[in-house]
């Protein structure tokens, strides 16, 4: 029987994640995927394996300014394993752990051009609002938010 499993990230996960990130994302990821997310914030992130094979990861944190807010910075799923519930599983695992730490809501961003990411967040029951220049001049983003937990029925 095939099995999907999740665990927190650690510093040793940076290199294998770096190796596949550009290919899985379909573009250069650069410093968005800074290793501080593995070295210093790894326990908040999520690593996914399908039958023991690495198939996706999520970088996230609990906000220091708003301790009830869990924030997803980056996530990607192996391009050959899309639409199998792995992205939703990464979000649920992250959300469940954040809930245990006192968070009540989760936020993530998507650029307006990333229709796949927008469909994913809408599919998971997030509500989005368009914010002009959110991460810089001309860098509009949809800011998605929803309450925790992200229940299984959300996919
Ligand atoms: C976005 C992404 C993580 C989704 O991962 P995934 O494992 O394919 O998503 P899931 O299978 O869990 O999908 C959950 C739900 O989201 C929606 N969804 C996901 N991808 C979709 C798509 N391409 N089109 C329409 N709806 C989509 C669906 O409602 C889906 O449920 P369903 O398959 O039962 O209909 C993946 O497409 C990806 O890695 N994209 C590139 C990276 C990226 O853009 N990351 C975001 C910026 S950091």
Ligand 1: residue of 4, 73, 87, 112 to mutate (most ligand atoms within 8 A of CB) is 87
How far, CA to CA in Å, does 64 sit from each of 2, 26, 38, 69, 151? 38, 32, 18, 9, 25
Distance from Cα 51 to the centre of ligand 1, integer Å: 20
Which ligand 1 atom sits nearest the alpha carbon of residue 114?
44
pTM: 0.97
User: What's the confidence (pLDDT) of residue 53?
Assistant: 97
Residue 6: CB atoms within 10 Å = 19
Of the chain, the end-to-end C-alpha distance in Å amounts to 22
Query: CB within 8 A of 100, min separation 6: which ones?
Result: none
Distance from Cα 104 to the centre of ligand 1, integer Å: 23
List the chain domain ranges. 4-154
User: What's the confidence (pLDDT) of residue 153?
Assistant: 65
Distance from Cα 35 to the centre of ligand 1, integer Å: 24
User: What's the confidence (pLDDT) of residue 152?
Assistant: 81
Helix (H, G, I), strand (E, B), or coil: what is residue 96? helix
Architecture of domain 4-154: 3-Layer(aba) Sandwich (3.40)
Per-residue pLDDT of the chain (155 residues; tens, 9 = 90+): 679 999 999 999 999 999 999 999 999 999 999 999 999 999 999 999 999 999 999 999 999 999 999 999 999 999 999 999 999 999 999 999 999 999 999 999 999 999 999 999 999 999 999 999 999 999 999 999 999 999 986 54
Which residues line ligand 1 at a C-beta cut-off of 6 Å?
25, 74-77, 82-88, 114, 116-117, 119-120, 123-124, 155
């Amino acid at each position: 029987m095939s099995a999907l499993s999740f665990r927190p990230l650690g510093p040793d996960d940076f290199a294998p994640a770096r190796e596949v990130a550009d290919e899985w994302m379909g573009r250069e990821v650069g410093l968005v995927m800074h290793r501080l997310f593995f070295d210093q914030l790894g326990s908040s992130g999520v690593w996914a394996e399908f039958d023991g094979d690495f198939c996706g990861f999520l970088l996230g944190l609990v906000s220091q300014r708003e301790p009830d807010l869990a924030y997803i910075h980056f996530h990607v799923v192996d391009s050959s394993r899309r639409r199998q519930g792995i992205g939703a599983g990464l979000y649920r695992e992250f959300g469940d752990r954040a809930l245990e730490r006192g968070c009540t809501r989760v936020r993530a961003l998507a650029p307006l051009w990333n229709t796949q990411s927008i469909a994913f967040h809408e599919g998971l029951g997030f509500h989005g609002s368009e914010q002009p220049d959110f991460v810089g001049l001309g860098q509009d983003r949809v800011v998605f938010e929803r309450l925790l937990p992200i229940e299984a029925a959300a996919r």
